[in-house]
Structure 1
Amino acid sequence: MTQAAQSQNQAPQNTLREIARNYGIHLVLVFLIVVTTILSPAFMTGNNISNMLLQAAPLGIVVIGQVLVILVRGLDLSVASVMATAAVVATSFNGQDSDALPVFLVAMAIGLLTGLVNGLLITKRNVSPFLATLATMTLLQGLRFAYTQGAPSGNVPPIYRVLGSQSFYGIPYNMMILVVLVVVFSALLNKSTYGRRVYLTGGNPVMARLVGINSDRITIASYVISGGLAALAGLIYSGFVGIVDNWVGRGFELDSIVAAVMGGVALSGGRGTILGGLMGAAILIVVFNAVLMIGFPIQFQIIIKGLVIIVAAAFYVRKAA
């Protein structure tokens, strides 16, 4: 066979490979939506779509911060604990709209401070991201339980209930907040000096130092942003669930990491996008909802989630290769 003929035979294969590399995560999401719709037509009803968007927004907000820290070769296990602490703060005042600003300021202060501590431990004390964020997660959990005596009480200010659980012409308010954050932080990564330094710090730390980038400062900033976004997600999520306990946001730390990695954000740092991470989050939300809509036992949620991760990760590995 001539070289020209071999090239012609390989052309379709190369095209398929390119499609899998560039759109694999999208194909997984479309496949899940189609299969679930066939098995349960109610999946694509307006009410269910609105419900999925309500659930997706808090996770999406956390994913934005998680993407930033993974891009600088880190990870943040403290985000769920920050969310729960912010939710407890939301019920620690009088439950009136006049308390909305104090609640926001206190919750954000806790989130930003947690991110700062994480960043300082990692950059100045050379603590691994896993241990540093695990430590702050545990510390916040202990402080939360000590403060609430294990049983938080109180009401979330009505404005947070509106933002967390209500919609404007079918579009949830919390999804609007997510869209604004996605636009802001995508522009920050793609158009600003900070974004270029994030990618260089994660992709080639040695080169970053040689060109004069303060990698420690970039890493700390990424963790501070992650902590602040987790606190915001906690306030919004408290309005969605309506009641607050010490485990609000439980599991978001792992779900946000899984979503980011499924969306093509490299754990080795320096490669990935916020939109990719959000695609991963969308897959998780569809899986969670599909299990309930189809009528599977809740245990199947974990099994199917694991299978989806395997399939999506396979596309990611091929793309990385």
Structure 2
Amino acid sequence: MSQTVDATSMTPVRWTERAQEIIRNYGIHIALVVLIIVSALLSPQFLSSRNISNMLLQAAPLGIVVIGQVLVILVRGLDLSVASVMATAAVVATSFNGQDSDALVVFAVAMAIGLATGWVNGLLITKRNVSPFLATLATMIVLQGMRFAYTQGAPSGNVPPFYRILGSQTFYGVPYNLLMLIVLAAVFSIVLHRTTFGRRIYITGGNPVAARLVGINADRVTIACYVISGGLAALAGLILSGFVGIVDNWVGRGFELDSIVAAVMGGVALSGGRGSIVGGLVGAAILVVVFNAVLMIGFPIQFQIIIKGLVIVVAAAFYVRRVQ
């Protein structure tokens, strides 16, 4: 009889443990669903097809940057240069004749800038032992200065129609840039979880010393992650320039913080070695929903800045709880 009582008394404990496990594993997904429901209740227009399409168009460039940021954070880094890479790529997009014949040249130049920036970031961090914060901050400022010197503070020109289509048009109601995000997310998720390179990323981020002891070139893995981040940021800049249509020197401003916050909210550990691209993208979706809901409800746009600060605080607190 005592065994029956013990089993019965353990049932609430098991339920509590199960609930905690669900929250740990799916808390960010539950939070996204709750946010969507609350936003829809507060603003009936939130779930309109037009607003949903608009959110998806806005989410894709951020999501692409988040993929690169997740890879960098997994190896114990961060990339503050992504927004500057995006703006530089956008300026490049308007530096030619604005015709589709220039689309490939624009892509090549923008990607070269993004990949080179990531390579420099990786070298500074791995070979010169510069902290990721300072290294990527430095390249951000250098790119910003070069951009202003090139444009004289007033960029002009037209984005090739090809990028306008990628950034603002849809395919049977689904934005082209969202399709690109889905493909990139699938590819890099497979890379992370099904390839040797992905395992090396997790091992390098989890314990760089152990990675070297088992023969992994941790520096090469880290540099590769920064190069990928730079390339994805350049691609996101081209797509965002197509969405905005008007390019200035601040295209993508704030994406560096938004991408980091999205990754952390999605369960990517700042200490490295733990997290996933899907989690980071869910975090990005939460940011997009929150910012859109603020406008749909009718709050002044300045509330976005306040909300962003609160989201950062919540994300930081959530991260601290996960690592304790």
TM range (shorter): over 0.9
Deviation at residue 61 of structure 1 after TM alignment: 0.3
1:138 to 136, 141, 144: 141
Amino acid aligned to 1:43: F
Q: Give the whole-Å Cα distance in 2 for the aligned partners of 1:48 and 1:192.
A: 38
Determine the structure 1 residue equivalent to 2:235.
232
Higher alpha-carbon deviation: 311-320 or 187-196 = 311-320
Asked if 1:45 corresponds to 2:45, the answer is no
2:37 to 21, 34, 37: 34
Determine the structure 2 residue equivalent to 1:78.
81
* TM-score, normalised relative to structure 1: 0.97
Deviation at residue 169 of structure 1 after TM alignment: 1.2
Secondary structure, in 3 states, of the residue corresponding to 2:268? coil
Indicate if the aligned counterparts of 1:86 and 1:110 stay in contact, CA closer than 8 A: yes
Indicate if the aligned counterparts of 1:100 and 1:159 stay in contact, CA closer than 8 A: yes
- Provide Cα deviations, 1:190-218, integer angstroms capped at 9, x if missing partner: 11111000000000111101100000000
Amino acid aligned to 1:248: V
Deviation at residue 307 of structure 1 after TM alignment: 3.5
Amino acid aligned to 1:108: M
Determine the structure 2 residue equivalent to 1:288.
291
Indicate if the aligned counterparts of 1:25 and 1:312 stay in contact, CA closer than 8 A: no
2:265 to 262, 265, 270: 262
Indicate if the aligned counterparts of 2:78 and 2:132 stay in contact, CA closer than 8 A: yes
Asked if 1:163 corresponds to 2:166, the answer is yes
Amino acid aligned to 1:233: A
Higher alpha-carbon deviation: 3-12 or 100-109 = 3-12
Determine the structure 1 residue equivalent to 2:212.
209
Relative distance call for 1:280 and 1:274 in structure 2 (3 A) is same
- Provide Cα deviations, 1:117-173, integer angstroms capped at 9, x if missing partner: 000000000000000000000000000000000000000000000000010111000
Asked if 1:301 corresponds to 2:304, the answer is yes
Q: Give the whole-Å Cα distance in 2 for the aligned partners of 1:64 and 1:277.
A: 7
Gap regions ≥5 residues in structure 2: none
Secondary structure, in 3 states, of the residue corresponding to 1:181? helix
2:179 to 176, 179, 192: 176
Indicate if the aligned counterparts of 2:60 and 2:178 stay in contact, CA closer than 8 A: yes
Relative distance call for 1:139 and 1:315 in structure 2 (3 A) is closer
Deviation at residue 6 of structure 1 after TM alignment: 4.0
**Count of matched residue positions in the alignment of Structure 1 and Structure 2:** 321
Relative distance call for 1:83 and 1:140 in structure 2 (3 A) is same
Deviation at residue 319 of structure 1 after TM alignment: 4.0
Determine the structure 1 residue equivalent to 2:14.
11
Q: Give the whole-Å Cα distance in 1 for the aligned partners of 2:273 and 2:280.
A: 14
Q: Give the whole-Å Cα distance in 1 for the aligned partners of 2:36 and 2:242.
A: 27
* TM-score, normalised relative to structure 2: 0.96
Gap regions ≥5 residues in structure 1: none
Amino acid aligned to 1:262: M
